[in-house]
Structure 1
Amino acid sequence: MIISLAKTEKEISDCFNLISQLRQHLTLADFIHKVKKMSESTGYELVYLNDDGIKAVAGIRMSEWLHSGRYLEIEELITDQSARSKGYGGTLFDWIFCYAKDNSCKQVKLVSGVSRENAHRFYLNKGMVFEAKYFSLNID
């Protein structure tokens, strides 16, 4: 089992099949373009767990807030549907937590859709707490 940051276009491309299970609107070309663009503008990184194939992928970025300091945000975290409940997501989450700590972050944060109850249980079991409500307003 190896956890790596996706640095090359091939590594980014290899993560697409899993990310597309969560972000179904993306094409491969759009995905590669957006990952490169977000990497340059926000420091977004893809991290993946390989165990005889990619089993879990996360999109992460670090930033800082006035009220809580430096943090790592998990933008997406997905375990392959055929590999769920085998510890891959938990192992990747633990790696991300250590990566955040090694990069002087004070918190790991994420936003999860209100309907994703299985994901909420997973995050609570990993020790995360529900600390805020997230609001949005579409601009059309």
Structure 2
Amino acid sequence: MIQFKILDKSDINLVIPLVHELNHGDVSFDLLKQRFSEMIEQNYECAVMHYDDKIIGVCGLWFCTRHYSGRSVEPDHVYILEAYRNKGLGKQFFDWIYKYIIGKGYEAIELNTYVGNYKSHKFYFNEGFNILGFHFLKKL
């Protein structure tokens, strides 16, 4: 049975293997652990998808207010284990996320996805997202 919930902050390290896999191992486990320990102290929550007692999907949620969209949530590091993809679970996960954030009084969702991640582009277009701009990054 599939279940969705917000992960308790004390359990945040449970999602590190999934996020590590999402990033193809480019960010070490130790660095992810350090960053997640900082993230949980900010305007961040972590939604997870469970199958039985196993976490099979993760989606970080950043909460803020933006001048152009109002109270907004940014899904981040959205990832479902490969064995559970193409079964409609992403749609179910996002339906749950929409209800959750509406219940908290938020009115918009915006997100980033990697340029080459065409499957995610199709998914987000099917969910009614539109491309608003470009995301730039400069490492200091």
Question: Shorter-normalised TM-score: what interval?
Answer: 0.7 to 0.9
Q: Is 1:31 matched with 2:47?
A: no
Instruction: After TM superposition, give the deviation of residue 99 of structure 1 in Å.
Output: 1.6
Unpaired runs of at least 5, structure 1: none
Task: Describe the superposition over 1:91-127 as per-residue Cα deviations: whole angstroms up to 9, x where unpaired.
Answer: 1111111122112111111011111111000111111
Deviation at 1:21, TM superposition (A): 1.4
Identity of aligned residues (%): 23
CA contact (8 A) 2:5 2:48 kept: yes
Q: Structure 1 residue 60 and structure 2 residue 68: aligned?
A: no
Aligned counterpart, 2:86: 85
Output aligned runs, 1:58-137, within 5 Å.
Answer: 58-137=59-138
Name the structure 2 match of 1:51: 51
Contact 1:35 1:44 in 2 (8 A): no
TM-score, length-normalised on structure 1? 0.87
SS in 1 for 2:110: strand
The Cα shift of 1:82 comes to: 1.4
Which whole-Å CA distance do the structure 1 matches of 2:35 and 2:138 have between them? 22
Which residue in 1 is equivalent to 2:5?
4
Q: Which moved more, 1:49-58 or 1:127-136?
A: 127-136
TM-score (norm 2): 0.87
5+ residue gaps, structure 2, are none
Cα separation, partners in 2 of 1:3 and 1:116, compared to 1, 3 Å: same
Partners in 2 of 1:94 and 1:80 — Cα distance?
A: 18
Query: Is the Cα contact below 8 Å between 1:72 and 1:107 reproduced in 2?
Result: yes
1:128 and 1:106 map into 2 onto residues whose CA distance is 14
RMSD: 1.6
Paired residue total:
137
